Amino acid sequence: MALLEVKVPDIGDFQDVPVIEVLVKPGDTVEKEQSLVVLESDKATMEVPSTHAGTVKEVKVKVGDKVTMGVTIVMLETAASAAASAPAATAPAPAAAPAPATSASDINVSGAELAAVLASSPSKAAEVREVLASTLASLEADYHAEVLVLGSGPGGYTAAFRSADLGKKVVLVERYSTLGGVCLNVGCIPSKALLHTAKVITDAEDAAHHGVTFGEAKIDLDGVRKFKEGVVGKLTKGLASLAKARKVTVVTGKAQFTGARTLEVETSEGKKVVSFENCIIAAGSQSARIPGFPYDDPRLLDSTTALDLKDVPKRLLIIGGGIIGLEMATVYDALGSKVTVVEFMDRLIPAADPDIVKPLARRIEKRYEKILLNTKVAKLEAVANGLRATFESAKGGEAAPAPEIYDRVLLAVGRRPNGKAIAADKAGVNVDERGWIPVDNQMRTNVPHIYAIGDIVGEPMLAHKASHEGKLAAEVIAGMTHHVWEARTIPSVAYTDPEVAWMGLQEPEAKAKGIEYEKAMIPWAASGRAIGMAREEGATKILYEKGTRRILGAAIVGINAGELIAETVLALEMGADAEDIGLTIHAHPTLSETVYFNAEMVEGTITDLMPPKR
């Protein structure tokens, strides 16, 4: 018998991810790939599987602990003597980059010549077999693609359009009747349209402090929905036009793999088969669920149904204080709901630096009915006049709020990847227990001609990450084999009021890793532009490498923080230091000056505030 450690695998850029459920105890017998614990970032819940079969000897974590890649979860006694290996979620080693694909038309030889080629060159033989397999698959298919893209969200349509621009014959498969995937149809875009409406309402309310008073807002839900749908329609119609202009064939329906070269699509006209030479999986994710909730009750909403805006509930409970939950809280609060947010962790938006979440928390605490931290919903029951929520303390043993009844409940506890929903195993593609598809630094799966991008390959689940991955996959397929994923950071934004945005290294992570740094935090009370807008609650925080003062990370809270973060992302990618930013002239008066002030503060050259004592 051997005793081995099962550790947290690679979970992307996330650090200090909380454990929300422990699924095993000492003495339990577990199978390989059986889930041991459940983690929760602000965007998704993640189950960590066992690397081996065996008996649990000791559980090293408990609910509420925060873990990072490499932290030991359990001690496992196994019959094997091999050391623990990383779970299936770990990306495979990069495969040898393939040469530009040979097509069937490239093979024009007699049987004898072909036999000679196969006998003399094993590598050529493998290439010919690949071509023949693709050709045979295409004979019985309704469509054939040099590049098949499964999913038309920002990652998928980017991959399809870039492939077409590089001369490939492209088929794009999408389950929705319009292109754009979850993001454009029922996610990022419609939510931002509603957030804009919410901002107009709250700005009108705030104007009373400036000597301008408007009457109480009259909400025409049909009109609000029409505006939202108009925004979505403009963008999805634009994508359809771009697909047509690029001669991309669009097939609409739910799809699953039937082999390593074929995909079956359930269309309105029946089943259609698409064969392909290369494939890019961009199938995204779906809302995560908590077991035992009454999902057949229409009063229980998810991020999709909440956007339908069928009514404005008097009392709304939002389970999950991450980005999605707080954005929808912003919308419904402005429309008139009494909002309660319940969050398992000790603060809102756990992935963000606590310093920049505090100004948001202070503002919404005054507007919302309640914010319940360190709390979970243990039970949700359907009753005649609403949904009754029973609360428990996340710390255990502490008093919890009394049960309450809400008109609607929105579940916003993250998203789960769709890896298991597309029968990827029939194509030979590795999918781990949680639904992630591991890829290398060129987005290639374990099957050399199949690539994967976006939410389905790992955190962070962000559209802008997916679009860059899609472009990379398309270029590698087209023969640009020197291209690899090398982004130094990916920004995150919560489009709340005020907005919260961050990128790169955050201070809690720097402390945990023992990284030496310098920092500066500029209160927007020093910004003439912020004061003139009566929104000086914001702040701009930047971390710099000690000694060189190169930028390591940034976090901004305030109106339009999502726009302001871009300058710091570029600075990090370019290796800029505080002096570079401080010598760059920023327009006055602007909110972007707070980035400039921050650099001046750490350099000791600031005049708009007192410089730090040295």
Q: Of 80 and 413, which is predicted with more confidence?
A: 413
**CATH superfamily name and code, 498-603:** FAD/NAD-linked reductase, C-terminal dimerisation domain (3.30.390.30)
> What does the alpha-carbon distance between residue 348 and residue 57 come to, in Å, rounded to a whole number?
35
Q: Which of 77, 70, 27 is nearest to 53 (CA)?
A: 77
Look at residue 17 in the predicted model and tell me its pLDDT.
83
Q: Which alpha helices (H) appear in 77-153, and where do they start and end?
A: 111-120, 122-139
Same fold yes or no, 2-78 and 129-287+415-488: no
Helix (H) or strand (E) holding 356: helix 354-367
| Residue 269 scores a pLDDT above 70 | yes
The single residue of 144, 449, 482, 588 carrying the catalytic annotation is 588
Task: Give 579-592 pLDDT, tens digit per residue.
Answer: 999 999 999 999 99
pLDDT average, residue stretch 161-183 = 97
| Domain locations along the chain | 2-78, 129-287+415-488, 300-413, 498-603
Output the average pLDDT for the chain: 90
Task: Give 17-42 pLDDT, tens digit per residue.
Answer: 888 888 899 999 988 888 898 887 66
Q: Of 453 and 105, which is predicted with more confidence?
A: 453
Look at residue 168 in the predicted model and tell me its pLDDT.
98
Q: Which of 188, 143, 9 is nearest to 85 (CA)?
A: 9
606 has binding-site annotation? no
Look at residue 106 in the predicted model and tell me its pLDDT.
47
pLDDT average, residue stretch 153-161 = 98
198 has binding-site annotation? no
pLDDT average, residue stretch 175-179 = 95
* 435 Ramachandran zone, left/alpha/beta (phi>0; psi -120 to 50): left
Contacts of 351 (CB under 8 A, 6+ apart): 14, 41, 42, 43, 322, 492
| Residue 164 scores a pLDDT above 70 | yes
Look at residue 478 in the predicted model and tell me its pLDDT.
97
| Residue 127 scores a pLDDT above 70 | no
Helix (H) or strand (E) holding 225: helix 221-245
Per the annotation, the verdict on 588 as an active-site residue is: yes
> What does the alpha-carbon distance between residue 175 and residue 267 come to, in Å, rounded to a whole number?
9
Question: The CATH number of 300-413 is which of 2.60.120.260, 3.40.50.150, 3.90.230.10, 3.50.50.60?
Answer: 3.50.50.60
455 has binding-site annotation? yes
pLDDT average, residue stretch 3-26 = 82
- Tell me the pLDDT band of 84, cut-offs 50, 70 and 90: very low
Tell me phi and psi for residue 157, to 5 degrees: -70, -30
461 has binding-site annotation? yes
Pair 531, 606: CB distance under 8 Å: no
> What does the alpha-carbon distance between residue 478 and residue 451 come to, in Å, rounded to a whole number?
13
> What does the alpha-carbon distance between residue 329 and residue 454 come to, in Å, rounded to a whole number?
26
326 has binding-site annotation? yes
Question: CA of 277: how far to CAs of 150, 315, 424, 438, in Å?
Answer: 13, 53, 16, 20
- Tell me the pLDDT band of 117, cut-offs 50, 70 and 90: low
CATH number belonging to domain 2-78: 2.40.50.100
> What does the alpha-carbon distance between residue 328 and residue 47 come to, in Å, rounded to a whole number?
26
Look at residue 129 in the predicted model and tell me its pLDDT.
58
Task: Give 210-226 pLDDT, tens digit per residue.
Answer: 999 999 999 999 999 99
CATH number belonging to domain 129-287+415-488: 3.50.50.60
Look at residue 359 in the predicted model and tell me its pLDDT.
97
Question: CA of 271: how far to CAs of 267, 282, 578, in Å?
Answer: 6, 21, 59
Pair 163, 171: CB distance under 8 Å: no
Look at residue 540 in the predicted model and tell me its pLDDT.
98
Q: How many CB atoms lie within 10 A of CB 482?
A: 9
Query: pTM above the 0.85 mark?
Result: no
H helices then E strands: how many in the chain? 15, 30
Q: How many CB atoms lie within 10 A of CB 365?
A: 11
| Residue 86 scores a pLDDT above 50 | no
Look at residue 286 in the predicted model and tell me its pLDDT.
94
Tell me phi and psi for residue 119, to 5 degrees: -75, -35
| Residue 114 scores a pLDDT above 60 | no
pLDDT average, residue stretch 53-64 = 91
